[in-house]
Amino acid sequence: MKVGILGGGQLGRMLLQAAANYVVETFVLENDADCPAAHLCHHFVKGDIKDFDTVYQFGQGLDALTIEIEAVNVAALEKLEQEGVKIYPKPAAIKTIKNKIAQKEFYKSNALPTSDYVITENLSELQAQKHFLPAVHKIGEGGYDGKGVQLIKTEKEIEKGFNAPSVLEKMVTIKKEIALIVAMNNKGETAIYPPAEMVFDPLLNLLDYQVSPAKLPQQVLWKAEAIALKLVKAFGSAGLFAVEMFIDINDDVLVNETAPRVHNSGHHTIEANYSSQYDMLWRIMLNYPLGNTDPIMPSSIVNIIGSEGYSGVARYEGLDEVLKMDNSFVHLYGKVQTKPGRKMGHVTIMSDEYQELTYKANKIKHTLKVVSDNL
Ligand code: ADP
């Protein structure tokens, strides 16, 4: 079987690591011939995943295609789907998710709980929504890694909004942010992973570390699971979906957004769950039985991020010390160049003690630094 991946970042790389356990010929399409996934696939094709002809040609002759990023040419995938290539997830699901307006409308029309919102086409329409504040403005298309999101608490901050079609949604008083990964196979059978809980740095508003399974009251867990399953069934597509949700101060569960692919909130499943999210996606694409999502042990993840002030060839300070730590698993993504904020790797920590997960996550954060000698 021949399977292609659009995008060659770390998610593609980890997907390929899992592919090595199966009999499958792998293809990667990506613009950068030195990307993290380039050296782990059977066939690397250099090209633009946003370009119709490039994606269409790449997909011809493949049995199946998947994505590791949503910013792909959906029209080419639609044509390939019509011609019999299996796409995970279906192009229709990618199309809805790619646009935050379409995504919100999808939740609303499927009665999936999400924060109230209005659509604004431009800044002057945003100006007219003063009564709707405090709110969060999210650009419809083109935002990535927090760049298309602006918190607008007061009238004075309205100018920070986007002068482009966007969603203005009510600010939620968040108690917890969780992510739940759901897998659905071609028969419509589903498997669900225990939720991961994001712990944010209150100063930088950056993900500090993540713990899984999230500690939640049973009722809240059931609600979150029911919503995530309903959402994936509403998309009606085989594949892997990461559903990000807020739990508010009333313990209501609200959908924030969905990623129709393997997700950074599921890195820990490589070591900490019987079947990882990556293994699971191969099982789906190769038509094997779904895997076991149970945790082997609770875990936390720390991202290894390029330190402020360093750009150039990456060097890892404190790596030996972290590699000596028990039950800690280092993943470096093979990116040659570091720059401030760039995701260079992650470390998964496993322990039966939640306190130890937090303690070690903090220790690793302060021990391991990505620097560079050329400034
Ligand atoms: P991105 O796609 O860039 O990750 P998100 O929609 O996930 O953007 O928003 C980024 C962060 O902003 C969230 O993780 C959350 O902390 C905050 N946020 C987003 N929407 C809301 C909201 N409605 N209320 C409060 N905080 C929000």
Q: For the whole prediction, is pTM greater than 0.85?
A: yes
Residues near ligand 1 with C-beta < 6 Å?
115, 136, 138, 143, 145-146, 148-149, 169, 171-172, 174, 177, 244, 256-257
The parent domain of residue 15 ranges over 2-88
Residue 201 sits in the same domain as residue 280: yes
Q: From atom 10 of ligand 1, which residue's Cα is the shortest distance away? A: 146
We report the CATH number of the domain holding residue 57 as 3.40.50.20
Does one domain contain both 143 and 267? Answer: no
Q: Which of 283, 281, 279, 287 is nearest to 260 (CA)?
A: 281
Q: Residue by residue, what is the 3-state secondary structure of the chain?
A: CEEEEECCCHHHHHHHHHHCCCCCEEEEEECCCCCCCCCCCCEEEECCCCCHHHHHHHHCCCCEEEECCCCCCHHHHHHHHHCCCEEECCHHHHHHHHCHHHHHHHHHHCCCCCCCEEEECCHHHHHCCHHHCCEEEEECCCCCCCCCEEEECCHHHHHHCCCCCEEEEECCCEEEEEEEEEEECCCCCEEECCCEEEEECCCCCCEEEEEECCCCCHHHHHHHHHHHHHHHHHHCCCEEEEEEEEEECCCCEEEEEEECCCCHHHCCHHHHECCCHHHHHHHHHCCCCCCCCCECCCEEEEEEEECCCCCEEEEEECHHHHHCCCCEEEEECCCCEECCCCEEEEEEEECCCHHHHHHHHHHHHHHCEEEECCC
pLDDT tens per residue across span 92-119: 999 999 999 999 999 999 999 999 999 9
Residue 199, both tokens: 């712990």
Q: Quote the pLDDT of residue 205.
A: 55
Pocket test for ligand 1, best of 136, 138, 253 (most atoms within 8 A of CB): 136
* CATH number of the domain residue 148 falls in: 3.30.1490.20
Q: Ligand 1 centroid to 229 CA: how many Å?
A: 21
Q: Are residues 139 and 17 in the same domain?
A: no
On whether both 192 and 271 belong to a single domain, the answer is yes
pLDDT at position 339? 95
The answer on 205 and 126 residing in a single domain is: no
pLDDT of the residue at 199: 87
Distance in angstroms (rounded) separating the CA atoms of residues 302 and 308: 17
Q: What is the pLDDT of residue 204?
A: 58
In a domain, 106, yes or no: no
In a domain, 351, yes or no: yes
Closest ligand 1 atom number to CA of residue 144: 3
Question: Does 98 reside within a domain?
Answer: no
Same domain for 30 and 126?
no
* Tokens 């792909």 sit on residue: 72
How far, in Å, from the CA of 146 to the mean position of ligand 1? 7
With beta carbons less than 8 A apart as the criterion, state whether 212 and 199 touch: no
Q: Which of 170, 185, 208 is the last residue of a domain?
A: 170
CA nearest ligand 1 atom 14, residue: 177
Cα(346)–Cα(224) distance, integer angstroms: 26
Looking at the domain assignment, is residue 211 inside a domain? yes
Same domain, 78 and 190: no
Please say which residue of 105, 135, 170 terminates a domain. 170
Residue 109 lies in a domain: no
Question: What confidence score (pLDDT) does residue 375 get?
Answer: 60
Alpha carbons 114 and 216: distance in angstroms, whole number: 19
Cα–Cα dist 295/289, whole Å = 18
Give me the pLDDT at residue 12, please.
98
- Asked whether residue 146 falls in the same domain as residue 212, the answer is no
Report if residue 256 sits inside a domain.
Answer: yes
State the Cα–Cα distance between residues 302 and 196, nearest whole angstrom: 13
324 and 349, same domain (yes or no)? yes
Distance in Å, CA 276 to ligand 1 centroid: 26
Q: Say if CB 288 and CB 316 are below 8 A apart.
A: no
Contact 261, 69 (CB under 8 A): yes
Distance 58 CA to ligand 1 centre (A): 34
What pLDDT is stored for residue 200 in this prediction? Answer: 75
Our count of domains for the chain comes to 3
Query: What is the Å distance from ligand 1's center to 255 Cα?
Result: 11
pLDDT tens for 348-364 read: 999 999 999 999 999 99
pLDDT at 144: 66
Q: Choose one of 210, 253, 256 to mutate for the ligand 1 pocket test, by most ligand atoms within 8 angstroms of C-beta.
A: 256
Residues of the chain where predicted confidence (pLDDT) is lower than 70: 144-146, 201-207, 375
pLDDT for the residue numbered 18: 98
CA pair distance 211, 269, nearest whole angstrom: 11
Ligand 1 atom with the smallest distance to the CA of 148 is 3
